[in-house]
Amino acid sequence: MTGTEPEAGAARPKEKNEGLARSLIRVALPRWRGKRYSLSKLFFNFYLLAMGSFVAIAFTADFVISTAQRGITDDYARRFMRGTITLIEDELFRQPRREWQKRLKEIDDKFSYKLGIVERMSLDRMLTPSQVIKLDAGDIAIDHDGDIMYHRLGTSSQVLVVGPLAANRNPELKDRLPLELRLRLLTWSLIGLIFAVALWFWIRPVWRDLEGLRQTALDLGDGHFDAVSPPVRTQLFAPLSDTMNSMAERIRQLLATHRELSCGISHELRTPIARMRFALEMLSETEQREERERLWAMMEADLDELDHGSAFFQRQAGRVVDRRGRFRPPARPQA
C-alpha cells in the first residue's frame, strides 16, 4: 500500500506540469487554427497588392508628368503643324471665298485627319480665354485635349479646323486600336507576367517556411513538445526556427527536471512515512517504557528528515523556477 500511493501522487505533478507548459505555449504563441493556408491565395493577394500599388504609382507619375509637360507639348505641336496649316491657308486664299468649302473637301481627302471651316463666334465656349486670344492674334489655338487646332483665316470670321489628330478620335479609324494603346497593353502585360513569375519563385519558399513554423507552433500548443521545426529554405526565418527549437528543447528540459523532482520527492517521502507508520503500529502494541521512548525518538527523527527534505525540495524548486528566466526577453539597457 505504501508503494502504490506515492506513484499515483507523482503522476499528478507530472500532468500538472505538462498542463502548465501547454498553457504557457498557447498564450505565448499566436493562435492560427483551421485549415492550411493556401499558397495560391497568398500569392494572388500579394500579387494584387504589389501590382496594384505599382500601377497606381505609375499612372499617377504619368499624369503628373503629362500635366507638367502640356505646355511644352502644345508648343511643339504648333511648330510641327504650322507649315501644313500655312500651306492650306495659302491654297484657300488662291480661291474665291465661296469655293473654300469645296476646295477644302478636296484637300481633306489627302490627309489622314479631318479639315473643316467654322465661324469664329462658335469657338468662344469651346476654347479657353488664353487660346481665344491666340486665335484672334493669328496664332494657332489648341483645344483642352491638345488634339484639335484652330487657325483664323486672315481677317475673316472663318476659322480653319485641323483635327482630331489622334487616330482613336478619327471617325475613319475607329475600328483600329491605337498604336500607343497597343504598346502600353503589351508593355504592361510583359511587366505583369515577369513580375508574377519572379514573385512566385520568391514567395514559394517563404510560404513553405511559414507553413512549417506554423505547424510546429500548433504542435507545441497542443502539448507535443517533441515537435521540431523543419529546416528553413530562407535565411529570413532561420533565427525564428532556431529560437523555436531552442524554446522547445528548454521546455523539454524543464519538464524532465519537474519529473525528476517529483520522483525524488516521492522516493524521499515514502521511506520516512513508512517508518513512522511502522513505529505507530509498534507503539500501540508495546507497554515497555524504554521501547516506547525509542519509538518516539524514531518518529521524531523521521519528522526531522521530512523537514530537511521539504527545505531541500523547496530550494530545488527555486532553482527550477529560476530557469524560467531564460524564456524572458532580455532587459533593455537604461539610458
In a domain, 163, yes or no: yes
pLDDT at residue 8, rounded to an integer: 43
pLDDT at residue 37, rounded to an integer: 63
Q: For 92-125, write each residue's pLDDT tens digit.
A: 888 888 888 888 888 887 777 788 888 888 887 7
pLDDT at residue 71, rounded to an integer: 54
- % of the chain at pLDDT higher than 90: 1
- Identify whether residues 230 and 319 lie together within a single domain: yes
- % of the chain at pLDDT higher than 70: 76
In a domain, 285, yes or no: yes
Among candidate residues 8, 12, 44, 14, the one with its CA nearest the CA of residue 257: 14
Q: HSE-up of 271 (CA within 13 Å, CB side)?
A: 11
pLDDT at residue 205, rounded to an integer: 85
Min mean pLDDT across 113-122, 135-144, 287-296, 309-318 is at 309-318
- Identify whether residues 279 and 215 lie together within a single domain: yes
pLDDT at residue 322, rounded to an integer: 53
pLDDT at residue 68, rounded to an integer: 67
- Identify whether residues 103 and 164 lie together within a single domain: yes
User: 269: which residues sit within 8 A by CB, 6+ positions away?
Assistant: 6, 306, 309
Q: For residue 228, which amino acid is it?
A: V
Q: For 253-283, write each residue's pLDDT tens digit.
A: 888 888 887 887 777 778 888 888 888 888 8
pLDDT at residue 24, rounded to an integer: 46
pLDDT at residue 29, rounded to an integer: 44
The answer, yes or no, to whether residue 135 has pLDDT greater than 50, is yes
- Identify whether residues 233 and 288 lie together within a single domain: yes
Among candidate residues 27, 91, 46, the one with its CA nearest the CA of residue 202: 46
pLDDT at residue 11, rounded to an integer: 46
- Across residues 245-260, what is the average pLDDT? 86
- Identify whether residues 83 and 162 lie together within a single domain: yes
Domain's final residue, options 121, 152, 173: 173
Q: Which structural domain range is residue 214 located in?
A: 5-47+204-323
In a domain, 328, yes or no: no
Q: For 312-323, write each residue's pLDDT tens digit.
A: 777 766 665 555
In a domain, 259, yes or no: yes
Specify the higher pLDDT residue, 215 or 26.
215
- Identify whether residues 255 and 165 lie together within a single domain: no
Min mean pLDDT across 50-59, 149-158, 178-187, 237-246 is at 178-187
In a domain, 92, yes or no: yes
Instruction: Please report where in the chains the cell 496594384 appears, as a residue.
Output: 52
In a domain, 251, yes or no: yes
Q: How far apart are CA 333 and CA 21, in angstroms?
A: 29
- Identify whether residues 316 and 209 lie together within a single domain: yes
pLDDT at residue 168, rounded to an integer: 55
Q: Which residues are 83's β-sheet partners?
A: none
pLDDT band for position 333 (cuts 50, 70, 90): very low
Say how many domains are in the chain: 2
pLDDT band for position 28 (cuts 50, 70, 90): very low
The answer, yes or no, to whether residue 51 has pLDDT greater than 70, is yes
pLDDT at residue 9, rounded to an integer: 46
In a domain, 182, yes or no: no
Judge contact between 277 and 262, C-beta under 8 A: no
- Identify whether residues 143 and 248 lie together within a single domain: no
Q: How far apart are CA 134 and CA 146, in angstroms?
A: 14
pLDDT band for position 219 (cuts 50, 70, 90): confident
In a domain, 152, yes or no: yes
